[in-house]
Each structure stands twice: as structure tokens, then as C-alpha cells.
Structure 1
Amino acid sequence: MTFEQYSSYFETIKITPLEEQEKPYDNPDYLDYTKLNWSRMNRWLKTGKITEELKNTLQQIYKPQHWIVITEPWCGDAAHITPFL
């Protein structure tokens, strides 16, 4: 799943009524976490900045990398980290 697909999945969960949700989003707590994390993630996408030090470090990577991120939209840590990955 690409980041764009993840974002689309995330948004679908956010706008789907509780009674139509699949597990675990049929639990109001999980749905609330997801809505909060949508705001958090989008704030980072708009305002997040990568330091010059990190940019320089990343420019030193010459071999292609394939990263796999395992997360769910309800995960608060992912809301802060995924936009940067």
C-alpha cells in the first residue's frame, strides 16, 4: 500500500458512520483516535520540516531501499511519524 492509498483508507474510515465500520473502528474509542490522528497527520504534512542534518544524511544513501511500515490509522505514534517516512 502506498502512502496515498493509506491516506485514502484513513479518510474513508474517518468519514464512514460508526454503525457501518468494520473492527476495530466500530468501537467509538478507535474511531475517535482515528479522527484525532487524521488531524495530527495532516498538520505534520503541512508544517513538518526535515532538518538540514537529516537531509545531508539521507543524501549519503546510494542504494535503493524498500521500507515496510506496519501501522493502523488509530495509532497515535504513526500519525506523527508516517508523514516523514
Structure 2
Amino acid sequence: MKEQSDNDAKVGQLKKDIAELSDGFTPEYHIPSLPSEEVQRLKANFTRERYNQLLSELEQMKKEKKISFTDYSDIRFRLNQINGELKDQGK
């Protein structure tokens, strides 16, 4: 049971990290209430390296069977969107 709880926590953290990465794509437009320092931080973190790191974490969790198929599919879909956004910005 503890292992499942740990896995759920890891999946939750991965989702949170991906949401933050996603927020780095034009945050000034989709989160207009953010302070400019936070906008700059999010934009600075919107990198191919961060995307690759999160993708690797996801694939490792899948390989170790520590993520449900539904969560994997949802996260993979969002990462594919982020990949397109990175390409749009030439990253």
C-alpha cells in the first residue's frame, strides 16, 4: 500500500511539474495576474532540457510500472502539446 501511495505522489508531482512547464508558454497571456518576476521564471524554465527531463521521468515510471495507463496517456498527450509549443518557439 505504501508503494502505491509513493507512486501516486510521484505521479502527482510529475503532473505538477508538467503544468508548471506548460505555464512557461506565453504566461503573460494565459496568466495575466502573475507578477513579472514569475512570468520571467516560468519563461526561463520553458526549455527543451526540462521537457526532456520530464519525458524521461514519465518513461521511467512506465517502464517500472509505477503509473497507470490513463495517467501515462494523459501526461504523454500534454507533453506532446508542450513539444509542439517548444518547436513553435524554435526551442
Calculate the TM-score normalised by the size of structure 1: 0.38
Calculate the TM-score normalised by the size of structure 2: 0.36
